[in-house]
A and B are shown apart, each in its own frame.
Chain A
Amino acid sequence: MRITVTVDGTAYTDDVEPRTLLVHHLREKLGKVGTVVGCDTSNCGACTVHVNGHSVKSCSMLAVQADGAEITTVEGLARNGQLHPVQQAFHDNHALQCGFCTPGMIMQSIDLLADDPDPDEAAVRHGLEGNLCRCTGYQNIVRAVRDAAARMSPGAGPEAERIADARAPHAVGGE
């Protein structure tokens, strides 16, 4: 089947087998290897991307279902060398160690913040329940998400707003 997907701002048209998972299409065909596969049962969330602004585990979606969709991966978050505030917060708060869960964790965190711009600790933990990390014990991930929330909030000051403005709307998630 012929599909067209826009990934991180570039449109790609390909023939795919109907059974091809979106994550395999992204990785194998489009070279978007920043998105990774961590399990076979959609438990780990390592493959999370945004499809039309909402987080989706890309191992649980067929490529053909994404025909016409706008997809953002972790590779498409930074703009003009400027990290997304969530990426920056993950770095600043040491919210990653091996980094394998990180692409999915960042994409899910952005989605979470779109739904709840000021989550308390329990809300962050609940919102990330579908993304597994084996290295960090989640403590610094929770801290990073709340830090990012503070940076992205309307009163967060000119620096945070400038970063937020630099991003394309679809990268924010949950519009």
Chain B
Amino acid sequence: MTATAEPEIGRARARKEDARLITGRTRWTDNLALPGMLHLAILRSPVAHARITRIDTEAARTMPNVLDVLTGADIADAQGSLPCAWPITPDMKAPNAPSLAVDTVNFAGEAVAVVVARDAYAADDALQAIDVDYEDLPVVLDMAEAVKDGAELAHPDLGTNVSAVWTFDSAEAGSGGDVESAISDAEVLVRRTFRQQRLIPAFMEPRSVVVDPTGEQLTMWSATQIPHILRLMLAMTLGLPEQKIRVIAPDVGGGFGGKLQVTPEEVIAVLVAQRTGRPVKYTESRTDSLLAAHHGRDQIQHLTLSAKRDGTVTGLKVELLADMGAYLRLVTPGVPILGAFMFNSIYKFPAYHFSCTNVFTNKTPTDAYRGAGRPEATFGIERMMDELAAELGMDPMDVRRKNWIAHEEFPFTTVAGLTYDSGNYEAATAKATALFDYAGLRAEQKRRRDAGDPVQLGLGISTFTEMCGLAPSRVLGSLSYGAGGWEHAAIRMLPTGKVEVVTGSSAHGQGHETAWSQVVADKLGVPFEDIEVIHGDTQSSPKGMDTYGSRSLTVGAIAVLGAADKVIGKAKTVAAHLMECAEDDLEFAEGKFTVRGTESATSIQDVALAVFAAHDLPDGMEPSLDSEATYDPENFSFPHGTHLCATEVDTETGQVRIRAYVCVDDVGTVVNPLIVDGQVHGGLAQGIAQALFEEAVHDEGGTLTTATFADYTLPSAADLPSFTTDRTETPSTTNPLGVKGVGEAGTIASTPAVVNAVVDAIRHLGVTDVEMPCTPMRVWRAIQNGAAR
């Protein structure tokens, strides 16, 4: 019952959740086995665009242990259309999105039939016995071709491949000047086209779903980031009463945006469970996951930067093509739009224009992937700042310094209309350049260039910011998003003085159980060990907006604080009653209510027990301290940082080696430095993977040729260096903890740092860009093409 003396916030607590994860006592969805449970296997289209002319399931049906085989025709009336919650424009075009294809398939990997069997092996066997005839339709794969007049159509019934065009213009918005005048008046113009290759989130735990239709409520366990949104969307999609659905996200093995989805597999599992009246399970194979779980990125960026000769940027024009894939999933259309507010990044650009054309192709749908819109924007602008520096013969750091918002200028309203509450780009950059020995490495680079070293050194910079803490509900409303951005929490004081913290955030590796315990331990003055964090079940944590967009600590934990304030308020009333003093005479610190100026005190745990007994409460007082709160942020938060990468590029083989990677991130107040460092490390790995390793590749027929981990190259430990991470701490001023979010920072910042370093190493050979991923082949070709120029 002793209060914690050392503050929990800022303490490098090893995580609570580790105990089950390191001993194999974890509750993954695929671990569930229910009596009579049936297993599903899904037949997926091998072709990208075709009419289904015949499906013969007879042979499969008669195989041993197979109970049923269903096609789209069998569930056409029941399955509804998978939801898209973000109609970015009033005239946005969206195809009907069946869970099981009915008469056409629109991407390779789309679900065509489902086998229901007694075990997973029997279900897989029966897939081989299903016979489908496809009549090929023209396949649309290339965005640039798809938007041309007379192009073949991914969805002929829509009459166009363009889903929507979304624009922002600073002159129209009143947040800045006219970009066309900036361009026509420019002393220097830099135009570049960059490609954000298609990526796959590739969480380690394949998606899995179990549905139990017995009992009063239909219960779904799913490897999802969004149990609360999923429950609502299942109700709306299938016309089920919301109160009759319970969704549980048990331990979830990573998401990275990839499990921010309402999936065909979840809908199919519900429908099969309802038809059979028995529990069903679907667990995807890795190949199914790479084919059918949504992909990420996939943009073509046409960028125009206007500047003065002294390096001052006068305007930025951004024209994007964004590949939606074959369908609009939950937030597909909005992902590139999130980038619209971040292309101007940390800079004081006076004029800005953004337009994005969302394009349908016959490929796996895209949607959120770690950073979602912001990595694309950061890549675009950070590459452009390097290109401008090269054009002007300036050091790329000097060009950034010339344009960034000075720390004394905060709060600062940007040309994209956001108000950055705080930041200190000078401090983060000073720390990073010192750790990196920027000047020393530049000198070495010059020596090696002069000596004609076959292995050249390149330095890459990324001074980035991002918008986190999704999101103020009003802003989401103004962007036509279908929901708010609040978060919910509740705190229950147990009679023994232990505490249950219920959160609407839904962790899948982030460490909420530890971080929330630290926040509550400080706030209520109860021991860290006495706090249990409950999440991810719509029955025990009935309200929430879940976890994505680096929102959990910045929104979810603030809701927790709000609930704690209410608990303290109620406890104070009781404590004053028990101690026979006025509430105003009490102060609360380290878990104790103390009568000011005396030794007389009572602990919040003692008050909890007294309230449970309820023998002697103030008149009219409800016998409960339990409280809940819902928090809607007033603003986003804006983590920032300076990332520096040194690469060694072998000009004879094109091989890139990262020699040093230094990053100084400013994520505001740090609740747990272990967790923050871990998030940064993992984010860096994913961002570096985009720069150097990963790409989802389709052949000319639209078949994904990277549908195994042998072909889609997730980096291993041997592919990555050790990172040097450090921090500055400029608290956010828009939430009481001063936190900014850290989940996506590393991914957002690192990709341009690495590519800038690659280009910097070989720029003297005539290279101005290397398309991602910068594989040895691409780098070598860029050098050959550069030499030929």
Which residues does A use to contact B, with CB under 8 Å?
A: 17, 19-20, 24, 27-28, 32-41, 43-44, 46, 73-75, 77-78, 83, 87, 90-92, 94, 96-103, 106, 121, 124-126, 128-142
Q: Does B565 contact A (CB under 8 A)?
A: no
| B682 contacts the other chain (CB 8 A) | yes
**Cβ-defined contact, B23 with A77, below 8 A:** yes
Please give, as numbers and ranges, the residues of chain B lying within 8 Å of A38 by CB-CB distance.
Answer: 204-206, 286
Among B485-534, those with CB < 8 Å from A are 508-511
Main secondary structure of the interface of A (DSSP, over half): loop
Distance in angstroms between the alpha carbons of A126 and B509 in the assembled complex? 25
Is the pair A98, B23 in contact by a Cβ cutoff of 8 Å? no
Beyond A40-B286, A100-B204, whether A137 also contacts B716 by CB under 8 A is no
Whether B708 lies near A99 (C-beta < 8 A) is: no
* Chain A residues whose CB sits within 8 angstroms of the CB of B202 once the complex forms: 134
Highest count of chain B CB atoms <10 Å: which of A125, A132, A137: A137
CB of B24 within 8 A of CB of A34, answer: yes
Leading 10 A-B pairs by shortest Cβ distance: A34-B24, A98-B509, A99-B21, A100-B253, A137-B685, A137-B681, A43-B709, A39-B286, A97-B509, A138-B717
Q: Which residues of B contact A130 (CB under 8 A)?
A: 716
For residue A122, which residue of chain B has the nearest CB? B718
Instruction: For the complex formed, measure the closest distance between the CB of B533 and the CB atoms of chain A, giving whole angstroms.
Output: 16
Min Cβ gap A73→B in Å is 6
Does the CB pair A41–B23 fall under 8 Å? no
Q: Which of B324-355 contact A (CB under 8 A)?
A: none
Instruction: Judge if B758 is at the interface, Cβ distance under 8 Å.
Output: no
**Contact status A97-B678, CB under 8 Å:** yes
Q: Are A106 and B22 in contact (CB under 8 A)?
A: yes
Give the complex CA separation of A102 and B678 in angstroms. 15
Complex contact A121–B17 (CB within 8 A)? no
| Cβ of B347 to closest chain A Cβ, rounded Å | 28
Say if the beta carbon of B285 comes within 8 Å of chain A.
Answer: yes
Complex interface: chain B residues within 8 A of A135 (CB):
204, 254, 509, 678, 682
Given contacts A97-B679, A97-B682, A138-B685, 12 further A-B contacts (CB under 8 A): A20-B121, A39-B708, A43-B708, A43-B710, A77-B23, A78-B23, A98-B203, A99-B26, A100-B205, A132-B716, A137-B746, A138-B720
| Inter-chain contact B286/A41, CB cutoff 8 Å | yes
Q: In whole angstroms, what is the CA distance A140 to B746 when docked?
A: 15
B15-34 with Cβ < 8 A to chain A: 15, 17-26, 28, 30-31, 33
- In the assembled complex, how far is the CB of residue B39 from the closest CB belonging to chain A, in whole angstroms? 10
Task: Say yes or no: A137 contacts B15, CB within 8 Å.
Answer: no
A37-B206 in contact (CB<8A) = yes
When C-beta atoms are compared, the residue in chain A nearest to B712 turns out to be A43
> What is the interface residue range for chain B against chain A?
35 or more
- Tell me if B600 is interfacial: C-beta within 8 Å of chain A: no
Q: Report B550 CB to chain A, min CB distance, Å.
A: 14
CB-based contact B682/A73 at 8 Å: no
Q: Which residue of B lies closest to A46 (CB)?
A: B204
Verify A97–B510 contact, CB threshold 8 A.
Answer: yes
Q: Cα distance A83–B21 when bound, in Å?
A: 12
From B22, B682, B723, give the contact of A83 (CB < 8 A): B22
Instruction: List residues of chain A with CB within 8 A of the CB of B252.
Output: 98
Q: Are B717 and A102 in contact (CB under 8 A)?
A: no
Q: A140 to B710: give the CA distance in the assembly, Å.
A: 25
Contacts between chains A and B (CB distance < 8 A), count: 176
Closest CB in chain B relative to A67 CB, distance in Å: 19
Asked whether A140 and B678 contact (CB < 8 A) given A99-B22, A134-B254, the answer is yes
| Distance in Å: Cβ of A106 to nearest Cβ of chain B | 7
Known: A75-B23, A137-B723. A91 touches B18 (CB 8 A): yes
Query: With a CB–CB cut-off of 8 A, which chain B residues contact A90?
Result: 18, 22
B167 adjacent to chain A (CB < 8 Å): no
Please determine whether B23 and A124 come into contact, CB atoms closer than 8 angstroms.
Answer: no
Nearest chain B residue, comparing its CB with the CB of A143: B722
Give bound CA distance, A125 to B33, whole Å: 36
Chain A residues whose CB sits within 8 angstroms of the CB of B714 once the complex forms: 132, 134
Q: Which residue of A lies closest to B251 (CB)?
A: A99
Q: Which residue of A lies closest to B119 (CB)?
A: A28
Residues of A within 8 A of B253 (CB): 36, 98-100
Chain B, range 182-230, C-beta contacts under 8 Å to A: 202-206
Residues of A within 8 A of B636 (CB): none
On whether the beta carbons of B21 and A134 are closer than 8 Å, the reply is no
B619 to chain A, nearest CB (A): 50
Point out the residue from B203, B256, B677, B717 that lies within 8 Å of A94, measured CB to CB.
B677
Is B761's CB within 8 Å of the partner chain A? no
Q: Is B430 an interface residue (CB 8 A)?
A: no
B465 at the interface (CB under 8 A from A): no
Q: Give the distance in Å from the alpha carbon of A141 to the alpha carbon of B685 in the complex.
A: 13
B14 in contact with A91 (CB, 8 Å): yes
Nearest chain A CB to B11 CB, angstrom units: 13
In this complex, what residue of A is CB-closest to B716? A129
**Contact across chains for B206 and A87 when beta carbons are under 8 A apart:** no
Which residues of B160-177 have CB atoms within 8 Å of chain A's CB atoms? none
Contacting residues, chain B, for A133 (C-beta < 8 A): 204, 717
| Residue from the set B253, B679, B723 with the largest chain A CB neighbour count within 10 Å | B253
List, in ascending order, chain B residues with CB within 8 A of A99's CB. Answer: 17-18, 20-22, 26, 251, 253, 509
Whether the pair A136, B205 counts as a contact (CB closer than 8 A) is no
A91 to B21, CA, bound (A): 9
Q: Are B22 and A33 in contact (CB under 8 A)?
A: no
Complex: how many Å from CA A46 to CA B286?
12
> Which of A99, A102, A130, A136: most chain B CB closer than 10 A?
A99
When chains A and B are docked, how far (Å) is the Cα of A128 from the Cα of B720? Answer: 12
Contact of B709 with A92 in the complex, beta carbons under 8 Å: no
Supply 23 A–B pairs (Cβ within 8 Å), ascending by A: A33-B24, A34-B26, A39-B708, A40-B287, A74-B24, A75-B24, A83-B22, A94-B14, A97-B509, A97-B511, A98-B254, A98-B509, A100-B28, A100-B253, A125-B716, A131-B717, A132-B204, A132-B716, A135-B509, A135-B678, A136-B678, A137-B681, A138-B716
CB of B675 within 8 Å of the partner chain: yes
Give chain A residues whose Cβ lies under 8 Å from the Cβ of B285: 40
